[in-house]
Amino acid sequence: MTHYRTCPLCEAMCGLAIETEGERVTSIRGDDADPLSRGYLCPKGPALAALHEDPDRLRRPLKREGDRFVEVGWAEALDLAAEGLHRVQQARGRDAVATYLGNPTIHSPGAAMFTPMIVKALRTRSRFSATSVDQLAHHLAAHWVFGHQFLLPVPDLARTEHLLILGANPLASNGSLMTAPGMRARLKAIRARGGRVVVVDPRRTETAEAADAHHAIRPGTDAWLLAALTRYAIAHGRGLGRLAPHAERLEVLRAAMAPFTVEAAAAQTGLEASAIEAMADALCRADRAVVYGRMGLSTQRFGGICQWLIHALNAVTGNLDREGGAMLPSPAIDLVRAPFGLGIGRGSYGRWRSRVRGLPEVGGELPVAVLAEEILTEGEGQLRGLLTSAGNPVLSTPNGGQLDRALEELDFMVSVDFYLNETTRHADVILPPVSPLERPHYDLAFHQLAVHNTAKLSDPLFEAGPDARQEWQIALGLIERLGRLRGRWGLKERARHATLARLGVTGMIDVALRAGPYGLRRSPTDGLSAAKLRRHPHGIDLGPLVPRLPEAMEGFATRIDLAPGAFVDDLARLEREPPEPGLSLVGRRHLRSNNSWMHNVEKLMAGKAICTLQIHPEDAAERSLTDGALARVRSRVGEVEVPVEVTDAMMRGVVSLPHGFGHGREGVRLGVARAHAGVSANDLTDERRVDPLTGAAALNGTPVEVARATDVP
């Protein structure tokens, strides 16, 4: 039997055709009829079967007894979890319990909709998530430029004629904050119609290999390049076009860019001045062009400035909210305006600050770079409890070794996760949700970031057993118990709880679809609903991106702010702080890897080792390093030993480690991952290196020393 679903493992939303015999998956291939992915499928998709069948995946809740975990029933586990969190808050205050939402939370509609309800029920300001690891700069820039943190334009890849990519590798990531499955074919299509693809990155990535041009840039200097390009485009570009009546402070932007000449940018970035000018000229001359920047820009000391300047640059070249430029998708469930509390708030900044270092709240959460110090530093407001959802911050946040030690000091910890991993091994209670094949699926966030408008709902492939719980059921169980413990479980709370339980995930999605821009309320005879999407198992094509930015901003901002004051003021820091000397460490993505949680699938880990230190041949020769040799990499916070991969794909003075590895810690129940343990790049990244404006971790550009392991005493 063939079932059609959407892959829930990354942002690409690839369509799947899954063959089953009884309760067993026999094959998984790409769905040729899916209107977005059109048959494309990366190696992670077929691994869904192995993930579902993984013997290490937890099926029942665990509670800690001394140094070991024992299985318990759901009622006992939920009671213990709620009582423990409540006890810490009663003794130390509401903010003494922190929450951390990991990246996979957003890949499950149940977790995405209901886990924030737990956070709200806890009423704590100590909120953290994977957002501050790699995308906080995007949200702050959108909040200040467009008025809402989730108004995030994406490249209109189908119609652009010039694509400039900075600090991103979409051939490995399938797009990031840009849902675009099958990126290789999309790039080929741009080039086939006479367009150009240009990549700026310290490493010649897979995307750079497929591009027309690659420029190696010194890590952490992208803001200089973007400022120089913006300065040039203000003078030579086509102007704001149709957005001119909707934008303000162009003259402030012009004045702010004055110091950032092509020559000044060349001195900082390591690029030739002629190359920068040619890059700027090509961007301005192209009829339809777009600039896209991602991880390499967001995870540096000037990430906020970078993401602001991308919006500004797309605007002053006349390519913002224009076909072939940077445009807003039109999702069937618009999280900016979703009904019944399903939407994402417009954003905020600095309403409170972290207790120890004083870093700002952004969008309702604190930067995760301060999590460990908030646990370890004594005094009023010290963190003593933690709830994690689908996250592994020990491997994914800066100075993971410090956080690992900090988690040992907590009074109580709860994890919603189906793995006993490097983080959840510290928990007192682990609450495992069902596998992705046992729950319904609709991508709430990624339709909001897709390069083409579609909608697709998938029912569970397999029925979960009676002793299994979806994320939304776990959330409601915790919320009810917390309400009763606090004596806040009156008629209003019980009625709301009963409504949510009756609707469940699919019911909530149906309500949101009906109320959305394509819903039955707008088109009573042909509008979208859950029932209609079920009749179209491959998904429904809702058409290409259309200009809609001014309309989308209504109620949040009256005009596009091209020069938000805080970003303009931060340019003084950019001019003042030179690039850090010595070797710089940057991260990298791999198509077979998805952060840390897919490493327990043998097929994805087989073949050539992923976790290597990539280094330029001349840098390797200076240190007597050869392919396969063991190098010791040292930073301010720690050191690791890792095999070397010598390659001219690296810029001189830059080395690279993939993220998500480091599975050698004791107490982890991940057999395959431990066999391919690798090392954690975040045992080297420095929690003190942040973008002080956003508070986001500056993972890229970490200063390191590299030597042969045998040469180090």
Q: Across residues 102-111, what is the average pLDDT?
A: 94
3-state class (DSSP) for residue 488: coil
- The pLDDT value recorded for residue 713 is 55
Q: With the CA atoms of 479, 480, 486 and 490 taken in that order, what torsion angle do they form, in degrees rounded to the nearest 10?
A: 120
Phi and psi at residue 679, to the nearest 5°: -130, 155
Identify the pLDDT of residue 111: 96
The 10s digit of each residue's pLDDT in 229-252 is 999 999 998 899 999 999 999 999
Say what the pLDDT of residue 596 is: 82
Average pLDDT, integer, range 621-650: 97
Q: What is the pLDDT of residues 544-590, one digit of tens each?
A: 999 999 999 999 999 999 999 999 999 999 999 999 889 999 999 88
Residue 453 or 23, more confident:
453
Beta strand 349-353 with 385-389: parallel, antiparallel or unpaired? unpaired
Q: What are the structure tokens assigned to 414, written together?
A: 């709860």
CA distance 668 to 677: 11
Pairing of strands 360-362, 349-353: antiparallel
pLDDT at residue 489, rounded to an integer = 95
pLDDT tier at 597 (50, 70, 90 boundaries)? confident
Average pLDDT of the segment spanning 277-295 = 97
**DSSP for residue 184:** H
Mean pLDDT of 24-37: 97
**Is the confidence at residue 214, as pLDDT, over 70?**
yes
Largest CA distance in the chain: 75
* Nearest alpha carbon to residue 343 among 188, 190, 151, 166: 151
Residues whose CB falls within 8 Å of the CB of residue 371, separated by 6 or more in sequence, listed in order: 98, 100, 128, 383, 393, 397, 403, 406
pLDDT over 80 (residue 604): yes
Cβ contact 383:126 at 8 Å: yes
The DSSP line for 125-161 is: S-EEETHHHHTHHHHHHHHHHHSSTT---EE-TTT-S
User: Which one has a higher pLDDT value, 137 or 710?
Assistant: 137
pLDDT at 712: 57
Q: Collect all residues with Cβ–Cβ distance below 8 Å to 430 and sequence separation of at least 6.
A: 58, 61, 62, 63, 69, 414, 415, 416, 417, 420, 424
Q: What angle do CA 407, 411, 413 make, to 5 degrees?
A: 60
Q: Is the pLDDT of residue 223 over 60?
A: yes
User: Topology of domain 580-711, per CATH?
Assistant: Barwin-like endoglucanases (2.40.40)
Q: Which residue, 589, 593, 595, 688, is CA-closest to 635?
A: 688
Rounded Cα distance, 407 and 409, in Å: 5
Average pLDDT over residues 386-414: 97
Cβ-contact 416, 438 below 8 angstroms: no
CATH number of 62-134+357-538: 3.40.50.740
HEC secondary structure over 670-703: CHHHHHCCCCCHHHCCCCCCECCCCCCECCCCEE
Instruction: Report how far apart, in Å, the C-alpha atoms of 65 and of each of 61, 68, 81, 259, 426 are.
Output: 13, 5, 14, 62, 12
* Cα gap 381→187, rounded to integer Å: 50
pLDDT of residue 371: 98
Q: Residue 245 CB: number of other CB atoms within 10 A?
A: 9
Residue 546 confidence (pLDDT): 98
**Residue indicated by tokens 């592994």:** 392
Among 308-312, 335-339, 595-599, 620-624, the minimum mean pLDDT is found in 595-599
Mean pLDDT (the chain, rounded): 96
When pLDDT is averaged across residues 521-542 and rounded to a whole number, the result is 91
Residue by residue, what is the 3-state secondary structure of 1-50?
CEEEEECCCCCCCCEEEEEEECCEEEEEEECCCCCCCCCCCCCCHHHHHH
The pLDDT of residue 600 is 93
Integer angstrom CA distances of residue 272 from 217, 260, 586: 10, 15, 22
What are the pLDDT digits (tens) for 75-102? 999 999 999 999 999 999 999 999 999 9
Q: What gap in Å lies between CA 574 and CA 571, rounded to an integer?
A: 5
Contact predicate 422/599, CB 8 Å: no
Amino acid 524: pLDDT: 75
Structural domain boundaries in the chain: 2-53, 62-134+357-538, 156-321+549-572, 580-711
- Alpha-carbon distance of 439 to 434, in angstroms, equals 7
pLDDT tens digits for 458-489? 999 999 989 999 999 999 999 999 999 999 99
CA distance 179 to 643: 33
Q: What is the pLDDT of residue 228?
A: 98
HSE toward the beta carbon, residue 469, CA cutoff 13 A? 23
**CATH numeric code, 156-321+549-572:** 3.40.228.10
Q: 591 falls in which pLDDT band (50, 70, 90)?
A: confident
| CATH, domain range 2-53 | 2.20.25.90
**Distance from first CA to last CA of the chain, Å, rounded?**
61
